[in-house]
Amino acid sequence: MTMTRRDVLLGATAAAALLPLAARAQTSEVVIGATYPLSGSGAQVGVDAQRAFETAIDIINNDQDFELPLAKGVGLPGLGGAKIRIVYADTQGDPQKGRAEAERLITQEKVCAILGSYQSAVAVTISQICERYQIPFMSADNSSPSLHRRGLKYYFRASPHDEMFSAGMFDFLDAMKKKGAKAQTLALFHEDTIFGTDSANAQTKLATERGYKIVADIKYRANSPSLSAEVQQLKAANADVLMPSSYTTDGILLVKTMAELGYKPNAIVAQAAGFSEKALYDAVGDKLEGAITRGSFSLDLAAKRPMVGKINDLFKAKSGKDLNDNTSRQFMAMIIMADAINRAKSTDGEKIRDALAATEMPGDQTIMPWKRVKFDESGQNNDADPVLLQYVGGKFVTVFPSQAAVADAIWPMK
């Protein structure tokens, strides 16, 4: 049989048509959703989160030499080397928009899992939608303790919640008191959404249990144009320790207003959020020498675990910033979720959920100071130890707990 030009052409066309199909069957992709505020007052965190997820996906999808799950080799071996693709949705920091966007991700974009969402108030609605569609939701950076106490089957959180963080803060205060530091009276300063409220509730409970005196408990309206009345009350109370639970905007205004009204707190022990953000220290860092914030991450760890420094470099190349409390947890959430999907060998929501529930990741395979990642039946990881960081000379130094500390806390702050 002779081959005509037409046969060749036909064959080539057929092959060309089939090629992408075949390729697609081999390296299918896994779609994960990420719901973050990409506009509105929390947009900066959302934009940074995108860089954190991209860093994690780079490590998963390409062959990298790190002691992280899925770093070596290409893609997810459990799914024939499938690569991860992320789809972002903008919540604008609004619980109702978060709900609608989560539903769109699940029904239109066919995501098999969702990560989110910075504001705890938004995580409430997103996780409810995920529960209804049986799609796992992982809180990368939400810290309200009420989130994992709603009996949801598809809710997971690898990082500590505010009660664990607050307990860590009070352990630190106890230790300081034992050393003879002045830390008996507290002033709580918190914003009025679920994050600030839950944080203040946890702190009030712990303060009562451990015999501290709360001399001021100020709940303020988030994104206020002015905080001078609030700061006056803080100043009048003049507590030994000021404990703010504030997002970046209010945190900047708080520190500026304190300086303007001539109030110099004895010590600040902050519930992270704004107080882990570079933007806040860029704006008012000169007034925060010695401020302490709780955290779930510290770059100090790079000295003990070189991988942390290298991953920070990868992230910095994308974002121009160092990994912080939020971006490190977002990075880990993607790694943990990808690891579960890989073990589930499926993109089915229920199978991923079961794989997540069976997660057992040793701490040294993460970039965090955690013991390990293992979820209890409510989806919370109880082996994530918080650290306390002090802002000294333009960077953070771990000061507590003693096994992670690289320096003693400077008290009172200067």
* The two structure tokens encoding residue 81: 């080397």
Instruction: State which residue, 219 or 345, has the beta carbon closest to other proteins.
Output: 219
Residue 318 near other proteins by CB under 8 A: no
Contacts with other proteins by CB under 8 A: the residue count is 40
**Nearer residue to other proteins within complex by CB, 196 or 369:** 196
Classified as helix, coil or strand, 196 is helix
Return d(Cα 133, Cα 252) in angstroms, integer. Answer: 39
Of 13, 26, 39, 208, which lies in the binding site for other proteins, with binding defined by CB under 8 A?
39
Q: Measured from the CB atom, is 218 or 357 closer to other proteins? A: 218
Length of the chain measured in residues: 414
Q: What angle do CA 59, 65, 66 make, to 5 degrees?
A: 75
Minimum distance, C-beta of residue 204 to other proteins, in the bound complex (Å): 15
Nearest Cα to Cα of residue 266 among 183, 171, 389? 183
157-196 binders of other proteins (CB under 8 A): 192
Q: For residues 19-58, b (16+ Cβ closer than 10 Å) or e, as one string?
A: eeeeeeeeebebbbbbbbbbeebbeebbebbbbbbbbbbb
Question: Which of 27, 28, 41, 238 forms a contact with other proteins (CB under 8 A)?
Answer: 41
Closest separation in Å from C-beta 178 to other proteins: 34
Q: How far is the CB of 246 from other proteins (least distance, A)?
A: 12
Tokens of 268: 């600040």
Quick check: bond before 386 cis, omega within 30?
Answer: no
Quote the CA–CA distance of 250 and 224 in Å, as a whole number: 7
Per DSSP, what are the bridge partners of residue 373? 361
Query: Interface mask (CB under 8 A) for other proteins, residues 199-218, using x and -?
Result: -------------------x
47 makes contact with other proteins (CB under 8 A): yes
Residue 276 is a binding residue for other proteins (CB under 8 A): no
Give me the least distance between CB of 298 and other proteins, in Å please: 23
Cβ neighbourhood burial of 217 (10 Å; 0-12, 13-18, 19+): middle
Shortest reach from residue 120's CB to other proteins, in Å? 17
**Applying CB under 8 A, which part among 27-35, 104-112, 131-139, 251-259 lies near other proteins?**
251-259
CA distance 155 to 353: 9
Question: In terms of CB distance, is 45 or 112 closer to other proteins?
Answer: 45
- Is 283 one of the binding residues for other proteins (CB under 8 A)? yes
Taking contact as CB under 8 A, which single stretch among the options 21-29, 44-52, 102-110, 377-385 is the one that binds other proteins?
A: 44-52
Q: What is the DSSP string of 88-145?
A: EEE-TT-HHHHHHHHHHHHHTS--SEEEE-SSHHHHHHHHHHHHHHT--EEESS---G
Of the pair 283, 357, the CB lying nearest other proteins is at 283
Figure out which of the listed residues 256, 310, 318, 371 binds other proteins, where binding follows CB under 8 A: 256
> What are the tokens at 203?
């702190």
Looking at beta carbons only, is 13 or 232 nearer to other proteins?
232
- The Cβ of residue 371 has, within 10 Å, a number of other Cβ atoms equal to 15
Selected binder of other proteins within 2, 4, 108, 226 (CB under 8 A) = 226
Q: How far is the CB of 142 from other proteins (least distance, A)?
A: 19
| Interacting residue ranges for other proteins, rule: CB under 8 A | 38-41, 43-44, 46-47, 192, 218-221, 223-226, 228-230, 232-233, 236, 248-249, 252-253, 256, 259-262, 277, 279-280, 282-284, 286-287
